[in-house]
A = this chain, B = another copy of it.
Amino acid sequence: MNFRDLEYFVQLTEDRNYTKTAQHFAVSQPTITYAVKRLEAELGVPLFIRDQSHHQLDLTLAGQEFGEHAKAILQELVTAKADIVTLTQQKIRFGLPPIIGTYYFPQLAKRLIQQNLMSHLQTFEAGSATLQQQLQSGEIDVALLGTVDPIEMAQIKTITLAKTDFKIIVSPKHDLQQQTAIKFAELKKEPFITLKEGFVHPAAFRKLAAINHFEPQIAYTTPDINVLKGMVHENVGISFLTELALKDDQSVHTINLTDKNQPHFDIVLAYRPQVNPLMEKLIDELQQPINL
């Protein structure tokens, strides 16, 4: 059975005139005849009373009954299509800080594409602090955030996806290039290249400085991680970065910090709870373990 035949039939129950219905669908009149015949053959009952003398086309009882069901079926199909369009057009406003976007998100992205979720994301790129505010004000729906301290926000649910350490990086030409671990306090004399970033690195850096009761010497501040790494490589100074941004990087030497109570760079999934299949699926997928 064919949906087109049902449409012809339903229209015919309203027009009560084969010719008119044919014109309505811009098809030839016999097309309607055959559609009705197909339905009658499949159902095994006549749907119309074929009375030559009767100039008015009449439905049989079975025809009336079937007409109601046919309308319901067509309506259900229309609804189905409309619902799918709605689903397809649905967008999730997704906040992504640059560092996480560059070093963490790409591995998630592959999975999101496979699950047909990427096309639903409207990405907002901003620092974690800005994104926190936007999340709270409702400007975005979900965000991946980098944080030093646990996040507490009313109406916002948070899930920690990964905890990473901060590392000290130095040039291969630097004296420290043979060390694998060091205390922050030992770096009092070193000039630092720091990241001009919205939230996390400055906060962590200040925290470490406060714990160690000294004010590190800032040689230069850049918003670009590659510029920062380049300057460290050229031994303009040393720096302080999440290990996330250092994966497989051979241009600089990485040194662990041995400080107790040292800050960590946590990647947190934050969102406003919603009853929404698309959001649910996204939240679910973002929590899937990935290889850092």
Which A residues form the contact surface with B (CB < 8 A)? 1-3, 43-46, 49, 51, 54, 58, 60-62, 64-66, 69-70, 72-73, 76-77, 79-81, 83-84, 87-88, 114-116, 277-278, 281
For A73, what are the chain B residues with a Cβ–Cβ distance below 8 Å?
Answer: 73, 76-77, 80
B83 touches A76 (CB 8 A): no
The smallest beta-carbon distance between A23 and chain B, in angstroms, is 23
The 5 closest A-B pairs by CB, nearest first: A69-B80, A1-B3, A62-B84, A73-B76, A60-B116
Which B-chain residue is minimally distant from A84 (CB atoms)? Answer: B62
A198 to B62, CA, bound (A): 38
Q: Which residues from B are CB-within-8-Å of A46?
A: 116
Contact B43 A84 (CB under 8 A): yes
Looking at the complex, which one of B62, B65, B87 makes contact with A61 (CB distance below 8 Å)? Answer: B87
Q: Select A114's contact among B43, B51, B277, beta carbons within 8 Å.
A: B51
Do A76 and B80 have beta carbons less than 8 Å apart? no
Q: Determine whether the beta carbon of A116 is less than 8 Å from that of B49.
A: yes
Q: Classify the interface of chain A: helix, strand, loop or mixed.
A: helix
Which chain B residues border A44 with CB–CB below 8 Å? 84, 88
- Do B61 and A277 touch (CB < 8 A)? yes
Q: Which residue of B lies closest to A86 (CB)?
A: B65
With A3-B1, A61-B281, A277-B61 already in contact, the answer to whether A76 and B76 are too (CB < 8 A) is: yes
Closest chain-B Cβ to A80's Cβ sits at a distance in Å of 3
Q: Which residues does chain B contribute within 8 Å of A66, judged by CB atoms?
A: 80, 84
Please measure, in the bound complex, the distance between the C-alpha atom of A66 and the C-alpha atom of B62, giving whole angstroms: 29
Q: A49-B114, A61-B87 are in contact. List 7 more A-B contacts (CB 8 A).
A: A43-B84, A49-B116, A58-B115, A60-B116, A61-B281, A69-B76, A73-B76
Also in contact, A65 and B83, with CB within 8 A (given A60-B116, A77-B73): yes
CA distance A252 to B70 in the complex (A): 58
A61, A73, A76: residue with the most chain B Cβ atoms closer than 10 Å: A61
Docked complex Cα distance between A116 and B63 (Å):
11
15 residue pairs bridging A and B, Cβ less than 8 Å apart? A2-B3, A3-B3, A44-B88, A49-B116, A54-B114, A58-B115, A61-B277, A62-B84, A62-B87, A64-B277, A65-B80, A65-B84, A73-B73, A73-B76, A73-B80
Measured in the bound complex, the distance between the Cα atoms of B62 and A81 in whole Å is 10
Question: Are A43 and B87 touching (Cβ within 8 A)?
Answer: no
| A61 CA / B49 CA spacing, docked (Å) | 45
- Nearest Cβ on chain B to A141's Cβ, whole angstroms: 16
